A = this chain, B = another copy of it.
Amino acid sequence: MAIEIERRFLVRKDIRSLCRDGLSIVQGYLPSDDGRTVRVRVAGPDATLTVKSPRRGPCREEVEHPLPLDLALGLLRHSCRGGLIEKTRYLSHHHGLCWEIDVFGGENAGLVIAEVELSRPDQLVPLPDWVGAEVTNRAAYSNSSLARSPIRGWASAA
């Protein structure tokens, strides 16, 4: 069981210059009735099954396990509930921290979220000038929520 400490931000500037060597990610969620998320992810040639506890501020517990690619693809196609998340992940280093910039596609096209993993919850985070509003605690921006309720439906629901 690892603890993931993470802060998440919308990205507000044109970040095309940062978008080199992206990693294609498709992920979906198995049902879970206890508030944890059970994520199936295919990232490039690799696949994983990851269970995450509900978030407490920037922290959540996480267990990750590799899966064979064909098994993961089958789970994504036939066992996940809600839609799938499609995104391309780019990495950018800023003042010693590694930012993961997720450019969403599919039903969430237009959304860009940058995440930074920390070693402690109160760690100072020097913000790059391209980050915008923090969404760490905004549940609607979690990947599992975006799978169920992608942003394409937000305007019509508002």
* Chain B residues with CB below 8 A from A33, complex form: 78-79
Return the chain B residue nearest A68 by Cβ.
B65
Chain A residues at the B interface, C-beta cutoff of 8 Å = 1, 30-34, 36, 38, 49, 51, 63, 65, 67-68, 70-71, 74-75, 77-79, 81
Contact B63–A70 (Cβ < 8 Å):
yes
Interface of chain A, main secondary structure: mixed
Complex-state Cα separation, A38 to B79, whole angstroms:
8
Contact B65–A34 (Cβ < 8 Å):
no
Q: A30-B30, A31-B31, A79-B38 are in contact. Are A65 and B71 (CB under 8 A)?
A: yes
Q: How many Å from the CB of A42 to the closest CB on chain B?
A: 15
* Chain B residues with CB below 8 A from A79, complex form: 30-33, 38
Q: Given contacts A1-B70, A38-B75, A49-B71, could you give 8 more A-B pairs where the C-beta distance is less than 8 Å?
A: A30-B31, A31-B31, A31-B79, A32-B78, A33-B79, A38-B74, A63-B71, A63-B74
Q: How many Å from the CB of A113 to the closest CB on chain B?
A: 26
Contact A81–B31 (Cβ < 8 Å):
yes
> Could you list 11 examples of A-B contacts with CB < 8 Å?
A31-B31, A31-B81, A32-B78, A34-B77, A36-B74, A38-B75, A38-B79, A63-B68, A63-B70, A65-B68, A65-B71
Complex-state Cα separation, A71 to B38, whole angstroms:
10
Complex-state Cα separation, A1 to B74, whole angstroms:
13
